[in-house]
């Protein structure tokens, strides 16, 4: 009998891997971004070496800009994210409205606790 990870088509597998990568980046950033900023931002996407961080106000975007060199260096050196070529900050107040999330950057954290985590690990190790 085949493992479920072998049954997934390549597009689904790629999407799962991308989701896992965003989750890993989000979890890592909890250690390098101060809590006051962290509570007002989240990882939006990571495509073709470009990381997008979404904040809910220009004030947080301004403070986050000062941290970009440190964030970039730590993601490259400690997380081994060598393909990171740019970090962009996007302001989107709507994404944070009506959400009772203590820390928006944690929104993908539960993927590691789900049954998908073993499937994602299998795909990563292939």
pLDDT tens profile 82-121: 999 999 999 987 776 655 444 544 544 544 555 556 665 6
Q: Which pairing describes strands 50-55 and 86-91: parallel, antiparallel, or unpaired?
A: parallel
- Say what the pLDDT of residue 115 is: 55
As given in the structure block, the two tokens for residue 77 are 């050196």
Name the phi and psi angles at 51, rounded to 5.
-95, 130
Q: Which residue has the higher pLDDT, 28 or 17?
A: 28
Closest alpha carbon to 30 in 88, 86, 100, 103: 103
CA–CA separation, 36 and 41 (whole Å)? 9
Q: How confident is the model at residue 18 (pLDDT cuts 50, 70, 90)?
A: confident
Q: What's the predicted TM-score (pTM) here?
A: 0.68
Which token pair is 45? 């996407």
Burial of residue 98 (number of CB atoms within 10 Å: 0-12, 13-18, 19+):
exposed
pLDDT of residue 118: 61
Query: Which pLDDT score is estimated for 11?
Result: 76
* Contact indicator for 67, 37 with CB cutoff of 8 Å: yes
Tens of pLDDT, residues 30-86: 999 998 888 889 998 898 999 999 999 899 999 999 999 999 999 999 999 899 999
C-alpha distances out from residue 77 to 24, 25, 73, 92, Å: 15, 13, 6, 29
The more confidently predicted of residues 99 and 7 is 7
Q: Give me the sheet containing 50-55, strands edge to edge.
A: 41-47, 50-55, 86-91
Average pLDDT over residues 8-25: 81
- Compute the distance between CA of residue 72 and CA of residue 120 in angstroms, rounded to an integer: 25
Please give the pLDDT value at position 111: 47
């Amino acid at each position: 009998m085949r493992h479920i990870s072998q049954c997934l088509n390549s597009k689904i597998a790629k999407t799962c891997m991308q989701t896992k990568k965003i989750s890993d980046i989000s979890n890592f950033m909890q250690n390098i971004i101060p809590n006051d900023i962290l509570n007002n931002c989240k990882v939006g996407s990571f495509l073709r070496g470009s990381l997008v961080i979404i904040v809910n106000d220009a004030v947080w975007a301004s403070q986050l800009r000062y941290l970009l060199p440190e964030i970039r260096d730590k993601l490259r050196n400690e997380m081994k994210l060598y393909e990171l070529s740019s970090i962009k900050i996007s302001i989107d107040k709507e994404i944070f409205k009506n959400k009772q999330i203590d820390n928006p950057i944690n929104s993908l954290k539960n993927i590691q606790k789900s049954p998908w985590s073993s499937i994602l690990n299998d795909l990563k190790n292939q």
